Structure 1
Amino acid sequence: MRTKLPTSAQPGDDVVVTLHGALATAGVFRPLKRVIEAQERVWVASLTLNPALAIEDAAIRLGDLVAELPPGVNCHLIGHSLGGIIVRWYVQQVLPAGPEAPTVVQTFSLGAPFGGASVAKWIPLRQGRDLVAQSALLSELARGADRSAIPHCSFVGEDDRTGKGDGLSDIGDRIVVPDCGHNGLLFHPLVGSEVVSRILQSRQGDAAPSEPC
């Protein structure tokens, strides 16, 4: 696991933790990172995971990174594809409770196949098995969605054909990005502007997001 942490973040700042999808690295988030870090007191942390890690183990590694963030920051998690599933597994199954727990404000997913991935058979080892439609892991994730207090926003590419499900139906918002495929979500200006908007809204305690599509 390779990590990059924002060492200059101060208490009250916002830190966005990015998590890539299968067979990728943290570098896929560079375009979105530039948009996010153009905002005052908003930082990006990232990690690159071993592709052989099971989703549950990857969520634990994500938790290790979150625990290393500077104290007092507000954490926002965003995952592309498989990374979106890992992010939600972390907040629903791994994130500790109590006053010492990290402050996770919200989560975002870009093209996360919560209903299963049509390309699951091409993804190696256990990750691929867990991304089959109605797998035990995806079923557990869906059952626990409405019990989570951490809000979620799913971005869905209108032309994305990799997934069999386009969001967590029981929580959060679903935003369809027009004329956009699976990887295009990483570059689309609508995604960047909406993520930034929701981060800035959270500073004011504003729970009213932009109108979902």
Structure 2
Amino acid sequence: MRRRLSTQALATAGQEVAAFARHALLMRHDAARAVLPEGVCDGDDVVVLLHGMFATAGVVRPLRAAIGRMARRAVTVHTAAVSYPSTSGLGPAVERLEAAVRALPGGARLHLCGHSMGGVVCRLYALESGDARVVQTISLGTPFGGVPGAQLLGFAGGRELSPTSEVLRRVRLGMGAEGREVPHLSIVAGADSVVRAPLAHALPGGDVKVMEGRGHSALLFDDEVAGVLVRRVLEHAGRGG
């Protein structure tokens, strides 16, 4: 048993190293702009993807492609991706998301999905913007419980991800602008090395899906994770806000 567990741990670690390298290679793409779909009509579903800290919208390119392949079998699901300044704090990140989705039709249905810090950005926007187009939020490896020591990074984005962050507290309590309930799914990496006890960092009151044997970065490049995300989107497609 111990040998099998060691083999599994090594495989997971190797997968995470490969994912991190892929993450680094993709960061040069889509850094300066939002990537928005063409031909979106009122009533269409759009999955808006946000990256995590120290990244760009380029890292979600493979996930966007996977969503497009899988969702095509059922209904048309558009994808968008937004780059934001992760070191400047959550406020500027939310503003960047708001500016991007403003270009989408007023009758579109938005499914906001963020990796790591991006999940907090998505949830903040859903709670506080009053945007009735937001159908749901989905997070990938997002530490809603905070990251110990994050405040030591010395910039606003780090301080706001610390366990004592008032912003994270507000998000966990679901304190929104208009009292509107927005469903949430936390997709959790069972082997996440960024936070201890990753399951404890899922958003309270939301649905949770644990992906065993995956690390923090690997969530972005895993077909099974993409499948969970697509099924969730299809479950809520056409329901409106």
TM class by shorter chain equals 0.7 to 0.9
Q: How has the CA–CA distance of structure 1 residues 145 and 197 changed in structure 2, closer, same or farther, with 3 Å as cutoff?
A: farther
Partner AA of 1:81 in structure 2 = S
Deviates more, 1:119-128 or 1:68-77: 119-128
Alignment of 1:6-155 (within 5 A): 6-38=37-69, 39-40=71-72, 41-93=76-128, 95-96=129-130, 101-118=131-148, 120-121=150-151, 123=153, 125-144=155-174, 148-155=180-187
- Of Structure 1 and Structure 2, the greater helix share is in 2
- Of residues 163, 168, 176, the one that matches 2:210 is 176
Report if the CA contact (8 A) 1:14-1:43 is conserved: yes
Q: Alignment partner of 2:88: what SS?
A: coil
- Of residues 171, 183, 187, the one that matches 2:221 is 187
Could you list the structure 1 runs, at least 4 aligned residues long, displaced by more than 3 angstroms after superposition: 121-124, 145-148
Report if the CA contact (8 A) 2:185-2:209 is conserved: yes
Greater length-normalized contact order (CA 8 Å, ≥ 6 residues apart): 2
Q: Alignment partner of 2:111: what SS?
A: strand
Q: How has the CA–CA distance of structure 1 residues 145 and 195 changed in structure 2, closer, same or farther, with 3 Å as cutoff?
A: farther
Q: Alignment partner of 1:68: what SS?
A: coil
Aligned residue for 2:10? Answer: none
State the percentage of identical aligned residues: 38
**Which blocks of at least 5 consecutive residues in structure 1 are unaligned?**
206-213
Q: Scaled by the length of structure 2, what TM-score is found? A: 0.76
Report if the CA contact (8 A) 1:22-1:123 is conserved: no
Please give the alpha-carbon distance, in whole angstroms, between the structure 2 residues aligned to 1:71 and 1:136.
31
Number of residues paired by the alignment? 200
Report if the CA contact (8 A) 1:154-1:167 is conserved: yes
**Which blocks of at least 5 consecutive residues in structure 2 are unaligned?**
1-31
